[in-house]
């Protein structure tokens, strides 16, 4: 580069669909980042639940650099060793028999929805195409996935949405009973709604969905793009509920920061995705697969998963202490290291106002809608970074309360 890029370059050269903070991070190590001016930040955002092992974790760096010296990309005309090893690892660790690899969570969900409709078409006919999803859900930014997602704002202005999609109320099984019938091909649900406000499903709700799908020969799809690969405290959240889906999608933490996605399913359903029915240019890329395999093998250990649950308790303890002092939160909720703090009535829809204050205090956080402060840090974030990050968050909250 002949000159150092600035934040103004974003406004000049980038399509304006994002509004990034003014700071531009240039280096990361563990749960800390440094910007162009050398200012340090603690990272509670985790790249939106992506950086499962923080920044530049040695295990992932080693996997990437080793593979980079061997083979980067072929195409789906061929396969490669890292992709096969990743698929086998995911099958051996989950309910699944077969894996489809792609490059993102949106791609994984697109594949899951197409598979569900194709399987139902092949086994029951064209009439069985209806998809049940839930209000406030989020499943990606492709046109199909924003249509299935339960937030109409993401589909507005792009023309007629695909038909055959209906939305029930999350955690309300009666609302699903009113929608599901023998024309339903699939129910798609997040075990914990992420963008919708960090709301865990109740066990009874997911168990009820499984029973309704079985009764109507519909497929149950779990979108675990945000909850998967250790984020919930289990490798996948479904393992905590005792409810097995027919199709599961995974991304974000799967690659630890490298773009990768996966759709998992069973031998009963997988044959519907026959040769030529779907594809992904970069799906099964050797670099992505090597990094994802290293991430899965590192995370799916008793030590790391127990550590996620321990850190959840620490986050909750700190957030409750902040709330006891300032009274800004109505509820603190979540699973593992995907946590949300819903704002109290006096601060309704002001979660977004905390973010720039937190940046000024040296902390990166997230929101899940305007009313929920969201945190999705590294699964192995040091306890010292949790304590220091929470001290910085407390200062930001104090400034919010003081009206600064």
Give the pairing type, strands 32-35 and 247-250: unpaired
Rounded to an integer, the average pLDDT of 356-369 is 96
Residues 348, 373 contacting (CB under 8 angstroms): no
Rounded to the nearest 10°, the torsion over CA 226, 231, 233, 235 is 80
Same domain, 205 and 127: yes
What is the domain-level CATH number for residue 266? 3.40.640.10
* Full domain range(s) for residue 199: 71-299
In a domain? residue 62: no
Q: What is the pLDDT of residue 316?
A: 98
Separation between Cα atoms, residue 4 and residue 278, nearest integer Å: 41
User: Within the chain, what is the greatest distance between any pair of CA atoms?
Assistant: 63
53 shares its domain with 76: no
In a domain, 175, yes or no: yes
**Euclidean distance between the first and final Cα of the chain, in Å?**
38
What pLDDT does residue 152 have?
87
Q: Which two tokens stand for residue 223?
A: 């979108």
* 25 lies in the same domain as 149: no
> 335 with 192: CB under 8 angstroms?
yes
Instruction: Note whether 311 and 338 are same-domain residues.
Output: yes
Q: CA 63 from chain center: how many Å?
A: 22
The rounded percent of the chain whose pLDDT value lies above 70 is: 100
Q: What is the pLDDT of residue 1?
A: 54
Written as six digits, the tokens of 199 are 């709301």
Whether residues 372 and 262 fall in one domain: no
pTM value is 0.96
Report residue 78's pLDDT band, with 50, 70 and 90 as the boundaries.
very high
Per-residue model confidence as pLDDT tens digits over 84-114: 999 999 999 999 999 999 999 999 999 999 9
Q: Residue 366, Cα to own-chain centre: how many angstroms?
A: 13
The domain boundary, picked from 276, 299, 322, lies at 299
Q: 325 and 192, same structural domain?
A: no
pLDDT at 241: 96
Contact 90, 296 (CB under 8 A): yes
Are 243 and 348 part of one and the same domain? no
Residue 189 in any domain: the answer is yes
Q: pLDDT tens, 320-343?
A: 999 999 999 999 999 999 999 999
> Is the pLDDT assigned to residue 181 strictly greater than 90?
yes
d(CA 23, CA 21): 6
Are 358 and 383 part of one and the same domain? yes
Contact criterion met (CB below 8 Å) for 252 and 281: no
Asked whether residue 150 is domain-assigned, the answer is yes
Domain membership of residue 46 (yes or no) is: yes
Band of residue 156 on the pLDDT scale cut at 50, 70, 90: confident
Q: Which is nearest to 240 in space by CA: 206, 189, 263, 193?
A: 206
Contact 364, 373 (CB under 8 A): no
Choose the final residue of a domain: 277, 299, 321: 299
What is the pLDDT averaged over residues 215-232? 98
Nearest to 297 by CA among 101, 86, 29, 103: 86
> CA dihedral in degrees (250, 292, 383, 307; nearest 10)?
70
Mean pLDDT calculated for residue range 130-137: 96
Are 20 and 117 within one domain? Answer: no
Report the pLDDT value the prediction gives residue 254, as an integer from 0 to 100.
98
pLDDT in tens, 4-52: 999 999 999 999 999 998 899 999 999 999 999 999 999 999 999 999 9
Read off the CATH number of the domain in which 321 is found.
3.90.1150.10
pLDDT higher than threshold 80 for residue 118? yes
Does 240 fall in a domain?
A: yes
Q: What is the pLDDT of residue 155?
A: 87
Residue 404 has pLDDT above 80, yes or no: no
Q: Is residue 1 part of a domain?
A: no
In a domain, 178, yes or no: yes
Q: Are 61 and 29 in contact (CB under 8 A)?
A: no
State how many domains the chain has: 2
CA distances from 240 to 31, 96, 207, 220 (A): 27, 16, 12, 16
Neighbours of 150 (CB within 10 A): 23
- pLDDT for the residue numbered 184: 97
Residues 160, 211, single domain; the answer is yes
Q: Both 135 and 177 in a single domain?
A: yes
Which of 272, 299, 326 marks a domain boundary?
299
Are both 200 and 346 inside the same structural domain?
Answer: no
Give exposure, 6-41, as e/b (b: 16+ Cβ within 10 Å): eeeebeeeeeeeeeeeebebeebebbbbebeeeeeb
């Amino acid at each position: 580069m002949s000159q150092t890029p600035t934040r103004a370059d974003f406004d000049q050269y980038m399509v304006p669909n994002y509004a990034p903070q003014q700071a531009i991070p240039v280096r990361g190590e563990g749960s800390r980042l440094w910007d162009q001016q050398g200012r340090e930040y603690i990272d509670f955002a985790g790249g939106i639940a992506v950086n499962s092992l923080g920044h530049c974790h040695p295990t992932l760096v080693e996997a990437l650099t080793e593979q980079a010296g061997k083979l980067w990309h072929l195409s789906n005309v061929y396969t490669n060793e890292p992709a096969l090893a990743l698929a086998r690892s995911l099958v051996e660790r989950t309910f699944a028999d077969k894996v489809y690899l792609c490059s993102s969570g949106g791609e994984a969900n697109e594949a899951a929805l197409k598979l569900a409709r194709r399987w139902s078409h092949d086994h029951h006919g064209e009439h069985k195409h209806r998809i049940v999803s839930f209000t406030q859900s989020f499943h990606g930014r492709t046109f199909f996935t924003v249509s299935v997602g339960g937030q109409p704002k993401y589909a507005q202005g792009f023309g007629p949405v695909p038909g055959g999609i209906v939305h029930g109320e999350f955690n309300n099984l009666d609302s699903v009973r009113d929608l599901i019938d023998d024309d339903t091909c699939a129910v798609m649900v997040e075990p914990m709604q992420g963008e919708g406000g960090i709301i865990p499903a109740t066990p009874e709700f997911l168990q009820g969905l499984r029973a309704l799908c079985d009764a109507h020969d519909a497929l149950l799809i779990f979108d675990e793009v945000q909850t998967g690969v250790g984020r919930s405290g289990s490798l996948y959240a479904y393992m905590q509920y005792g409810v097995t889906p027919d199709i599961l999608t995974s991304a974000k933490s799967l690659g630890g920061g490298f773009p990768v996605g996966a759709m998992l399913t069973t031998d009963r359903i997988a044959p519907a995705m026959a040769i030529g029915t779907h594809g992904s240019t970069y799906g099964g890329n050797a670099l992505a697969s090597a990094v994802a395999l290293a991430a899965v093998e590192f995370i799916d250990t008793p030590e790391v998963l127990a550590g996620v649950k321990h850190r959840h308790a620490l986050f909750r303890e700190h957030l409750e202490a902040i709330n006891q002092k300032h009274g800004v939160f109505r509820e603190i909720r979540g699973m593992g290291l995907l946590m949300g703090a819903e704002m109290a009535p006096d601060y309704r829809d002001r979660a977004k106002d905390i973010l720039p204050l937190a940046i000024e205090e040296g902390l990166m956080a997230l929101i899940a809608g305007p009313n929920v402060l969201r945190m999705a840090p590294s699964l192995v974030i040091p306890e010292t970074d949790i304590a220091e990050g929470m001290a910085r968050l407390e200062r930001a909250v104090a400034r919010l309360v003081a009206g600064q």
